[in-house]
Amino acid sequence: MVTVRKRTLKVLTLLVLFIFLTSFFLNYSHTTVATTWFPKQMVVELSENFKKFMKYAHRPCTCARCVGQQRVSSWFDERFNRSMQPLLTAQNALLEEDTYSWWLRLQREKQPNNLNDTIKELFQVVPGNVDPLLEKKSGGCRRCAVVGNSGNLRESWYGPQIDGHDFVLRMNKAPTAGFEADVGSKTTHHLVYPESFRELGENVSMVLVPFKTTDLEWVVSATTTGTISHTYVPVPAKIKVKKNKILIYHPAFIKYVFDNWLQGHGRYPSTGILSVIFSLHICDEVNLYGFGADSKGNWHHYWENNPSAGAFRKTGVHDGDFESNVTATLASINKIRIFKGR
């Protein structure tokens, strides 16, 4: 009988200690623990503390680090606007006047066709609804690899690591055939504009980044009549991408990247930084590959034979150094990871 009482007292003591430490740790209660505890009181106290703990510990995802976690960095919180929608749809296609005027200046369009008519025609050809795959939901862990085109990917052997992500974003003319060991073979979304287009795999979503009204018209033409074959350079008259796999990067989101993230540096953002900020809005964890120079300081594409190439970096419209500082800062506050290769 004495043994049973001692065992019961020990259990009760441990429970009281647990409740006290939990309350102290959570800093929710400064009241003194009563000397007499009844089972009902203990259950209520434990239940309340558990709820508070879950609320305190709630995170927007189950990844080791969550892009959307707030109050980690004031720098990030000042720039990240979770309400911004990355893709153009029939529901959000109306541009504010200042956004439209800014966007027209990107390619110095003087007499563009009516944008509303163009968008109406566009969404008669491609889906005008939100892509359910890209809807970011709370909970879970969507891991995304954003694969740039830097020569530092050569002999990096990142291929399997890249392919292990849920989403793999690539851009412009980047090939994978023949480079699988370093860059992987998986692509879920490929960001292009007409002048940088390349044919994509059957299950790859094309994300058109429109820098001018003609780019939207080209999508309609390239999937139907094939009448547009030249912008300021020759472009493919017809493309094989399935119409239901074509998504449109929102012009207002381009301006958001320019205003919030680039603070007005350069004339407009590069496809690279547009891909990075796009991923912050659709992914829980973001890893960058193929950004920056190689270990010798050369700027070139991984598929080029000339390692000293890279005049494209001095385009006059993008501020490559400032964009690099943005990604470096994101990495320093653990919002993204940058794999620098060789």
| pLDDT, tens digit (0-9, with 9 covering 90-100), for 63-75 | 988 999 999 999 9
Question: H/E element holding 11?
Answer: helix 2-26
Whether the predicted pLDDT of 139 surpasses 60: yes
Catalytic residue among 158, 268, 289, 302: 268
115-122 vs 213-222: helix axis angle to the nearest 10? Answer: 30
Which residues participate in the annotated binding site? 107, 149, 172, 232, 268, 272, 292, 301, 318
**Tokens 């305190």, residue located:** 56
- What is the overall mean pLDDT for the chain? 85
Which residues participate in the annotated binding site for substrate? 107, 149, 172, 232, 268, 272, 292, 301, 318
- Write out pLDDT tens, residues 151-165: 999 999 999 999 999
- Write out pLDDT tens, residues 208-243: 999 999 999 999 999 999 999 999 999 999 999 999
Q: Please, which residues have CB within 8 angstroms of residue 239's CB and are 6 or more apart in sequence?
A: 197, 199, 222, 223
320-332 vs 271-282: helix axis angle to the nearest 10? Answer: 30
Q: Please, which residues have CB within 8 angstroms of residue 147's CB and are 6 or more apart in sequence?
A: 153, 162, 168, 169, 170, 171, 174, 183, 184, 289, 290
Catalogue all structural domains in the chain, each as residue range(s) with its CATH number: 2-57 (no CATH), 74-339 (3.90.1480.20)
pLDDT at 52: 43
39-57 vs 2-26: helix axis angle to the nearest 10? Answer: 30
DSSP letter at 31 equals P
The reply to whether 318 belongs to the active site is yes
Distance of CA 8 to the CA centre of its chain: 54
The reply to whether 268 belongs to the active site is yes
User: For the whole prediction, is pTM greater than 0.75?
Assistant: yes
- Write out pLDDT tens, residues 236-248: 999 999 999 999 9
